[in-house]
Amino acid sequence: MNDYQFIDGTRLSSVIEAFIFTSPEPIGATKICDLISQGDEQLQLEADAIPPFVEKLNQRYEENGLAFGITKVAGGYTFATRDRFESWLSIFQHEDAYRKLSQSAIETLAIVAYKQPITKPEVDDIRGVDSGYMLRQLLEKVLIEVSGRLDAPGRPLLYETNTHFLKHFGINSIEELPKPREIEEILKDDDMAEHRQFLFDRQLELEDMEAMDEENDVSLLDAVEQLEDEGLTEDAKNINPDRILGHDDNEEE
């Protein structure tokens, strides 16, 4: 079938492309035909007319060296990157994965960073809990690596950070990490103490509001607005309620 041109100059192939691009789920040929007929009653298509258009669109993408194409999955059409880019995408997905660290993972990573090379029993002793799972998570995220074995009974593995760790935290070497005494000074700073107290007070207030939300069907947004109406400072208004309550989307379960 020729690439039909609508009265506004739009090509049929472009309309089909737009439907596939916009649909959040794979869209079937029959659905595409139904949508087209709703837009132009004079153009009645059968489902078997769609595949040739999809083939022509894919040919156009290929000729222009584009990284994506239209594929058929779950009985419908959807856009997807081409198979030859899988190795590159795995790098991107891996980079994204190790950006997300739970509080426990950060705690374990900090111990490794400051005490490296360090064994699992030593990490367990510092944290007071078994750290095997956290160490495996950090290995999978390529933030730490095995650097050898300790010359001791059982020859436990030694863990240390790597170049991915440096890249993740934007530093050039371990020496750029803040010294423990510097961290203590920051925590002892009067402004920091005041800020911590401020956050603690706001957390209690918002937790109370959240409880009221459950009882009275009041949204958390309404609760925050109520707090603002009661005269919170501008600093308080800029605080993300989800982060105060501990609901960090970037944290792992």
| pLDDT tens readout for residues 128-138 | 999 999 999 89
Q: Is 143 exposed, middle or buried (0-12, 13-18, 19+ CB in 10 A)?
A: buried
Query: How do residues 164-214 score in pLDDT, each as one tens digit?
Result: 888 777 777 888 888 877 766 655 655 555 655 665 666 666 666 656 555
Q: Distance between CA 42 and CA 241 in Å, rounded?
A: 54
Instruction: Between 132 and 11, name the one with better pLDDT.
Output: 132
Q: Two tokens at 110?
A: 């900090």
List the CATH code of the domain at 103-177.
1.10.10.10
Residue 250 has pLDDT above 60, yes or no: no
Same fold, 12-84 and 103-177: yes
Return the domain boundaries, the chain.
12-84, 103-177, 187-244
Residue of 113, 112, 133, 136 lying closest to 122 (CA atoms)? 112
Give the dihedral sign, CA 32/38/40/45.
positive
List the CATH code of the domain at 12-84.
1.10.10.10
Strands 144-149 and 157-161: antiparallel
Which H/E stretch holds residue 224?
helix 220-229
Burial 211-224 (b: 16+ CB within 10 A, else e): eebeeeeeebeebb
